[in-house]
Chains A and B, each alone.
Chain A
């Protein structure tokens, strides 16, 4: 009895002292979680550096966004939340919000209005897909191809991926059902508007896998957004899917012989959430940061470094030239009118329901 008591006291003393220690640091530090790479670099330039200059707060980066939901859940279970602001896609943001792991946001009081006074809720508009989600950018998953390896008729349609006759060679796809199943149905003749209805049926799922079967041996299956740019650069694949910003960097910054297929791009949102359960002091700072980082000018600034579209209507006219290359960024945005017209919108609710089931099927199919 005494023994356990001693242990408990020691352990709690240790916890308290470490908390006190952490607290001491927190006053000037915050941990912001994001995706790493060029994306984090653009946030550093556009948001973190000006914010630190303005407030003196030191920003610690943690590149854990790809596993944010799992980690926030674990932190919540352990009752020790170490993150202040987290960059996530729309679907995880919804899930975190539903589970009460993210703070609910009132856009009109907590986010900056547009310079002309338009309230944030109007300025962000449809992008506010969840009560906890603070939209930041619009990105898309789409295809790039090697201009020197596809012959005389460069592909302009996403279905070129399934056309191994005209475009022989390897292509890279993500080894997950999301996007690949949609593209397969789209190229099997299903109308854009019917895709999710078809995919909700067994037959539709089999149909998508059957379509993917036709190119299975020609595909290098990848798991990370950095794989396809590397494979394209090495000439390992002639075309492959990744995020449009990665392709932009490959084409314009690294000057690789690669071009984009905007057709069939699947648009998604990325933004911030603030973990629920922060101390009032930390929460206040997180909100202050978010208010700063998502104002009209800041969102427009990020587009100087990476080709993702700002999520505010008022930022679009302010998108200028690339910070180093000096090229006009507007046409490289997934939201540019001619790109947008060919886009495909992901259905978050469908994937919330079917992700586990289809992932099991997809993995079983891959392993066959």
Chain B
């Protein structure tokens, strides 16, 4: 007989604790459910989580240097980088060996490119040295200190060796430091020289402009969503088609159309000049700057604001407004105190959607943003596609991801994420 004190565990009929038998009976169901969703789960893991994990790891990974120059990396550890002296022959010899192997395997340019991000000139230094080193006999051709310096005077510079040593660890904070306009030096983290600081500015600009775009979308989208939710079926369907129309034209076409509209010899300026609202030699500059980006992106992202708003507004019965008016509220009060609070979940969902999309956009800012309207994503694209500095791109992407998560968390704290509705 089990001692049944008031707070003892509940037992099921056969004497096992109730919790245990409940969980056993649910396990079968859980397994079946898991099996059912497993294709989706695998898909999400492969298509969604893996790229993020790979991005995170790329932003700190740095095994290129230690893999390509293994002997140099181990030899250089005993060298005091701050001594101001060049490393000794051992390091030079190790390097000669490494660069020869790398040149034969054709992997020297990759590491050269990697180190060239940190110090300009290393690319050609490595390339020239590799060409020569292929013919050396490491056992007999020493000493390599003089030999290397003769090949290129760069090998007589302390900074080159400092760069190699600083960036030799397998994991590095260097990319993240670069991503916030700092750099990793032999003495630790340091700020970039002022004439190279751009990324923090771009982060700020991306956040501010995305907020502006989100607000413009709210302002423009709200009345449209309201009309959609309140017009008779037939007109609402027509309007819905108009709202969705932008989805059916290519992004490039839409963005280019804005060019034609907004440029100085464009449609809007022509009309303003014709109406004598602006003079011909003071045409407004509305493209290739922030305005261009804001206008074009607001247009492109508007449906993402309207649709969640609409689906929430559709669930607000008209009787609430009528009730408010019957209670003595003017149209405005009824809207502001009764309708609007109930539509906030739609605004929240739309804003999160638009903001997150905006923060990651780069094609439109690239085309209409000029130099003042480009986003951090344009820099990420540049580093992925052009400079091939994928580590830095990954660090920038990670920061952006974290920024979005922080904003999401803040939103949850302020408004509450249950207050986000994508539909009734």
Contacts and interface: CB of A to CB of B under 8 A. Distances in A.
Instruction: Judge A-B direct contact (beta carbons within 8 Å).
Output: yes
Interface of A: 7, 66-67, 69-70, 73, 95, 98-100, 170, 175, 206, 220-221, 223, 230, 234-236, 349, 352-361, 363-367
B198 A367 contact: yes
Nearest to A101: B106
A364 B196 contact: yes
B159 interface: no
B109 A98 contact: yes
Interface in B102-156: 105-110, 113, 116-117, 120-124, 127
24 contacts: A70-B386, A70-B388, A73-B388, A95-B109, A98-B127, A99-B107, A99-B109, A100-B106, A220-B370, A223-B367, A230-B259, A234-B263, A236-B263, A236-B264, A349-B127, A353-B116, A353-B121, A356-B117, A356-B389, A358-B120, A360-B196, A363-B379, A364-B198, A367-B371
Given A360-B192, A367-B372, 20 more contacts: A7-B42, A98-B106, A98-B108, A99-B110, A100-B107, A175-B371, A220-B288, A221-B288, A223-B366, A223-B367, A234-B263, A234-B265, A356-B117, A357-B120, A357-B196, A360-B196, A363-B198, A364-B195, A364-B198, A367-B201
B107 A355 contact: no
What size tier do the contact residues of chain B reach?
Answer: 35 or more
Interface of B: 42, 105-110, 113, 116-117, 120-124, 127, 192, 195-198, 201-202, 259, 263-266, 288, 366-367, 370-372, 379, 382, 384-389
Contacts of A223: 366-367
B38 to A, nearest CB: 9
- Interface SS majority for chain A: helix
Most buried by B among A7, A70, A73: A70
Contact of B388 (A69, A221, A366): A69
A315 to B, nearest CB: 31
Nearest to A349: B124
Contacts of A366: 371
A237 B137 CA distance: 60
Contacts of B371: 175, 221, 366-367
Contacts of A360: 192, 196, 198
A365 B265 contact: no
Contacts of A69: 388
* B122, B196, B266, B388: residue with the most chain A Cβ atoms closer than 10 Å: B196
Contacts of B387: 355-356, 359
